[in-house]
Structure 1
Amino acid sequence: MNRIQSINALLPQTQCRECGYAGCLPYATALVNDNASINLCAPGGQEVLNDLATALHRETTSPQKSHQNVIAWIDEAVCIGCTACIRACPVDAIMGASKLMHTVLADECTGCGLCVAPCPVDCIYLQPTKETYLPQARFLGDSATGARFTSARHAQTRYENRIARQQRQEAERKQQHAQRAAQIAQTMQAASTQNKVQAASATALNPAQLIAQAMAKAQAQQNQRVVPSNHDSFREQQVKDAQKKATYRRYMRDAQYGNDAEKATAIAWLQQYKAEQEAMQAAQN
C-alpha cells in the first residue's frame, strides 16, 4: 500500500465531495501532495482529522464543517422515476427503473447527499441516524478492523465496483458501435460487388433477355408479396408509441429546466404516467 492509499484508507469513503474534491481518493492525493488542509472531511469529523494529522505530521485543528450522519429516504408517492438519483449515487444504494418507483437501500446508504440536488421533484430527504459509521452494511470489509474501517472499506468496494461496471459498459458500447460500423461497411462492400457483377452480366445480355429477366423478377415478387392485414394498425401503434416517448421526454425536460408552471404541469403528468406504467406491469404479472 503506497502513501496515497494509506491516507485514503483513513477516510470514510462516502465520496460526498464536501471537501471540494471529486471523491475520497482525489482528496487523499491532494493531502499527500500537501495541496489540501486536513480538516476538510466533514463526515470523518475530529476522529479522521486526528488520524490525518498523525499520519501526515501536521498540527491538529478542528473540522471546517460540522456533520451529522444521515440516510436518504425517497417519498415514493412523489417519485416520478426519472433515475437522476440512481445516476448520482456513488455506491449504488438506490434501486429502481426508468418511469418506475425508486427506493433507497438504507443499509448501503453512506449519507453523502449527492442524490438530493438532481431530483426534479424534491422527493428525497436526508433523515438523521444514530449510527456512528455509515454504511450500516459492512460485509465487504474486514470485521477485525472495527466498525469505522469496516464501513469505509464496504463503501469503497461498492464505489469501485460501480466505477468498474461503468467502464465495462462503456467498453461494451464502443465494441457494439465498432461491430455495427464493420457490418455496415461489409454490407456496403457486398452490395457494391454485387452491383458490379450485375452490371457486367447486363452488358453480356441482349435487350430481349434483359426484358424477360425483369418481367420474371417482377412476377416473382408479385407472387411472393404478403401484406399483413394489421399493417395499418401496426403503423398507427408505432406512431402512438413515438408520440408518447416524445411527450415523456418533453415533460422530463420541463420538470428539470422549465419555469414553475411548466414544472408543475410536467410533474403532474409524470406522476400519472408512472401510475399507469405500474398498473400495466401489475396487470401483466
Structure 2
Amino acid sequence: MSIASEHIDRLLPQTQCRQCGYQGCSPYAQALSRGEAAINLCTPGGATVIRDLAQLLNVPVLPPADPLKAEQPKAIAVIDEAECIGCTACIKACPVDAILGATKQMHTVISNECSGCELCIEPCPVDCISMQPVQEHWLPRARQLAEKPQDERFAAATQANARFQHRTARLQRLQCEKEQQLHARQQKTAIAATPTTKSASSINPAALIAKAMAKAQTQQLQRRVPDNQDSFQQQQIAKAQEQASYRRAMRDLQYGSEQQKADALVWLRLYKQQRESQQ
C-alpha cells in the first residue's frame, strides 16, 4: 500500500460495507490514490469524510453519491432470534465478527461491535435480520474512549479495523490449517499407494474386486442418511422462507408504499389459494 493510500485509508470509517463499490475501505483508498474513484462514494462517512478527502487530495467537494442513504441515521443489525434457523450465512458475511452463533443454533448480534455494514441482510435465507436505527454518529459503539467528541470518528474506525484485521487473521489461519490437513491426507494416500515388495503373483485380483465392491456398498448405505437429512433441511428452510415472505407481505400491506401494498395484496391472495388447495 502506498503512503498516499495509507493516509486516505485513515480517513475512512473502516466499516468494510462495500457500499462504495469496492471490497472494503483499503481497496477504495487505493483506487482513490490512483485517481480511479470519486471521493463521494463512502456512505457511512457522509459529508465529513468527503470534506476531508477533498482537502487531502486537493479536489473539489462533492455531494454524497447516495444522498438519501447518507441522510439516514446510523443503524445496527438485529436478528429475530425466534425466526433464525442457524444457517450461519450471516456469520460468514460479517466483516467484523459481530455475530455469535453456531450451525442449527440461534444467532445474535453483538450490538456494540456491529459496524452497520448491512452485509448480513442479503444472505439470510429467511429474512430475519433488520437494521435498527441508533443515535451514534459513528459505529461501532464499542469504540475506544475519545478525549474529544470529534475524535470519536477515528476511535470508532480504529475499533472496526481491529475487528476486521482479527477476522482476516483468523480466516487465514483456518485456511492454512485446512491446507496442511489436505497435504497430510495426500501424503498418506501416496504412501498407501506405494508398491510393496510383494510380487505380482501374490496379489489376488478377485479379493481386491470383492473388497472394492464391499467398500462401495458401505459408502452407498452411509450416504442415504445424509441425503434424508439434506431433504429435511431443505424442507425446513423452504418453510421458514415462506413464513418470512408472509411476514414481509403483511408488513408491506400495513406500512409499505402504494406499489408495495398492491404487490403484497396479490401475493397474499395467491398464498391463500395455495393453502386452500393443499387442504
Q: Secondary structure at the match of 1:18?
A: coil
For 1:59-112, what per-residue CA distance to the aligned partner results, in whole angstroms no more than 9, with x for missing partners? 112212224210100000011111111111110101100111000000000001
Partner of 1:264: 242
Q: Cα gap change, 1:241/1:149 in structure 2, threshold over 3 Å: closer, same or farther? A: same
Is 1:174 the counterpart of 2:179 in the alignment? yes
Equivalent pair of 1:16/1:114 in contact (CA under 8 Å): yes
Q: What amino acid sits opposite 1:68 in the alignment?
A: P
Matches within 5 A, 1:119-268: 119-139=124-144, 143=146, 146-189=151-194, 192-196=195-199, 199=202, 241-251=225-235, 255=238, 263-264=241-242
Partners of 2:185 and 2:230 in 1: how far apart? 26
Q: Which residue of 1 aligns with 2:36?
A: 35
CA contact (8 A) 2:120 2:129 kept: yes
DSSP-derived class of the 1:136 partner: coil
Does 2:109 match 1:104? yes
C-alpha contact 1:251 1:266 (8 A) present in aligned 2: no
| Deviation at residue 199 of structure 1 after TM alignment | 3.5
Dislocated runs of 4+, deviation >4 Å? 142-145, 237-241
What is the alpha-carbon distance in structure 1 between the residues aligned to residue 129 and residue 113 of structure 2? 16
2:4 touches 2:33 (CA, 8 Å); kept in 1?
yes
Deviation at residue 250 of structure 1 after TM alignment: 3.3
- Conserved 8 A contact 1:43-1:68: no
TM-score (norm 1): 0.71
Using the size of structure 2 for normalisation, the TM-score is: 0.72
* 1:20-59 to 2 correspondences below 5 Å: 20-59=21-60
Q: Secondary structure at the match of 2:199?
A: helix
* Cα distance in 2, alignment partners of residues 100 and 266 from structure 1: 18
Which structure 1 segments of 5+ residues have no match?
A: 201-234, 256-260, 268-285
Aligned residues: 223
**Any idea what SS the aligned residue of 2:39 has?**
coil
Determine the C-alpha separation between the residues in 2 that align with 1:96 and 1:198.
57
Cα distance change of structure 1 residues 110 and 46 upon mapping to structure 2, 3 Å threshold: same
Give the Å deviation of 1:266: 11
Higher Cα Rg: structure 1 or 2? 1
Residues 127 and 241, structure 2, Cα contact 8 Å, conserved in 1: no
Equivalent residues of 2:126, 2:240 under 8 A apart: no
User: Which residue of 74, 87, 90 maps to 1:85?
Assistant: 90
The whole-number CA distance in structure 2 between the counterparts of 1:86 and 1:130 is: 25
- Residue 166 of structure 1 and its aligned partner are, at CA, apart by 1.2
1:75 aligns to what? 80
Q: Distance in 2 between matches of 1:130 and 1:263?
A: 32
Contact 2:84 2:126 survives alignment (8 Å): yes
Q: Distance in 2 between matches of 1:45 and 1:265?
A: 36
Separation of aligned partners in 2, 1:116 and 1:263: 14
Alpha carbons 1:14, 1:24 under 8 Å: kept? yes
Q: Which amino acid aligns with 1:175?
A: Q
Secondary structure of 2:131's counterpart equals strand
Structure 2 contact 128–244 (Cα < 8 Å) conserved: no
1:11 aligned partner, one-letter code: L
